[in-house]
Amino acid sequence: MNERERLKKIIIDLSYEKRKVTLASGRESDFYFDGKQTTLHPEGGYLTGKLFFAAIADVADIEGVGGLTLGADPIATATAVVSFLEGRPIPAFIIRKEPKGHGTGAWLEGRKNLRPGARVVIVEDVVTTGGSSMKAVRRAEEEGLKVLGVVTLVDREEVVRENFEKEAYWLK
């Protein structure tokens, strides 16, 4: 079993549930996906980092990888660790849902690892319409970063690709 097949098995075993749910987009679905169950698993996290790094390895000059807390946190961290092990270190960052309530009032954690205008990729555990991803894109850009595209663990394939392409971002 190759790494992609192994990760898919972990996703099915730990993150997929057949049941009716209302998604963040407001849509109803007959299945639920909790990516954190996979990305916080030792092997699942490692394989996620490895495959996400492979997905962006051909993109020139990536300087950061991150997304909205909480789903993106383990993915960005795993990808950053794998990038270091592969000899091409890419720092992780986290975008808060609200600015820090004290101290610096920061929206973005890991800022000191990123220069102004840094070329970054947004990571997600699951995308449906892309609403959460676009929030991350907008916030990253407001923080002075240059977003290249989005990489996701699971694409529900519900028009999200078209939504990103209209905005000139790619989705992997």
Instruction: Note the pLDDT of residue 163.
Output: 74
CB 47 within 8 A of CB 82: no
pLDDT, tens digit (0-9, with 9 covering 90-100), for 127-151: 887 888 899 999 999 999 999 999 9
- Assign 58 a pLDDT band (cuts: 50, 70, 90): very high
pTM for the model: 0.92
Regarding predicted confidence, which is higher, 129 or 110? 110
Residue 4 has, within 13 A of its CA and on its CB side, a CA count of 6
Element of type H or E holding 165: helix 160-166
CB atoms within 10 A of CB 159: 11
Instruction: Note the pLDDT of residue 160.
Output: 65
Three-class DSSP category at 64:
strand
Instruction: Note the pLDDT of residue 14.
Output: 98
What are the two backbone dihedrals, phi and then psi, of residue 14, each rounded to the nearest 5 degrees?
-105, -30
Instruction: Note the pLDDT of residue 159.
Output: 59
What distance in Å separates the CA atoms of residue 106 and residue 111, rounded to the nearest whole number?
A: 9
- Assign 35 a pLDDT band (cuts: 50, 70, 90): very high
